[in-house]
Amino acid sequence: MIVLKWLFLTISPCDAAEPWQLGSQDAATPIMQGIIDLHHDIFFFLILILVFVLWILVRALWHFHYKENAIPQRIVHGTTIEILRTIFPSLISMFIAIPSFALLYSMDEVVVDPAITIKAIGHQWYRTYEYSDYNSSDEQSLTFDSYMIPEEDLELGQSRLLEVDNRVVVPAKTHLRIIVTSADVPHSWAVPSSGVKCDAVPGRLNQISILVQREGVYYGQCSEICGTNHAFTPIVVEAVPRKDYGSRVSNQLIPQTGEA
């Protein structure tokens, strides 16, 4: 029972970093799935090469031990082996490059028209999110700041240094365009589960496209040194079903437009 509980406790919050974590967080987007798959594919060949090289190394150390073989043969050249050990590793790295580049270029490819645009603006030291698709004038109708919850205000079960007061709510299974920028110094908008890490540069708009495949709460942290509170500017993305997103947005929109 204890073991079960322990298992589920470690499995359920896999969209945030956990203590002593070795692997990646669970993928929430096709991009992250691609990154994890590429990592595993490369690791298979990496282990093969590692074992092979270690075997050669240990064998050489064993057979040319000074007690075993006091006067080794003085062979310093070997054309065949030199050609082989040059061509072969370069072929291997070329074969690794093919899927790697395919993934890399697919990451910044905008294939379809996105359904919503969210602007993530980094500040020292909080984030502002603008949902401007529903604006009918230059007045912002749905904009909010997202601050970290300080340690003393945390409730039971919330993650330290990761929880924020206002989460970014996005619809799941929908193509999103996130425009990342900054108002002061460079920041970075990074959510490991969605395979996104995009620098927020003042005066520049960086676009990332994501498709969150499952509902959930995804945690990330600032990934560009942005000042003293760099460690205290987390990102929390909450993916909700599409219809919930619609009602959520219209609920937040109406009171604000009513005031104006």
The residue ranges that bind other proteins (CB under 8 A) are 108, 110, 112-117, 119, 121, 130, 132-135, 138, 140, 143, 171, 174, 177, 179, 181, 183, 198, 203-208, 242-243, 245-247, 249-251, 253-254
Min CB(232)–other proteins separation in Å: 23
DSSP per residue, 129-183: EE--TT-SSSS-SSEEEE-BPPGGGPPTTPPTTT-BSSPEEEETTSEEEEEEEES
Residue whose CB is less far from other proteins, 11 or 110: 110
Min CB(59)–other proteins separation in Å: 49
Residue whose CB is less far from other proteins, 101 or 134: 134
Min CB(144)–other proteins separation in Å: 12
CB 259 within 8 A of CB 173: no
Which tokens in the block code for residue 40? 């595993």
Min CB(202)–other proteins separation in Å: 10
CB 175 within 8 A of CB 115: yes
Residue whose CB is less far from other proteins, 73 or 136: 136
| Alpha carbon distance 179, 63 (integer Å) | 61
Residue whose CB is less far from other proteins, 63 or 204: 204
Residue whose CB is less far from other proteins, 149 or 170: 170
Min CB(128)–other proteins separation in Å: 9
Residue whose CB is less far from other proteins, 61 or 110: 110
Calculate the CA 65 to chain-centre distance. Answer: 48
Min CB(203)–other proteins separation in Å: 7
Sign of the alpha-carbon torsion through 71, 77, 80, 81: positive
- Alpha helix segments (H runs only) across the chain: 2-11, 30-63, 79-107, 242-259
75 membership: H or E segment, kind and range:
none
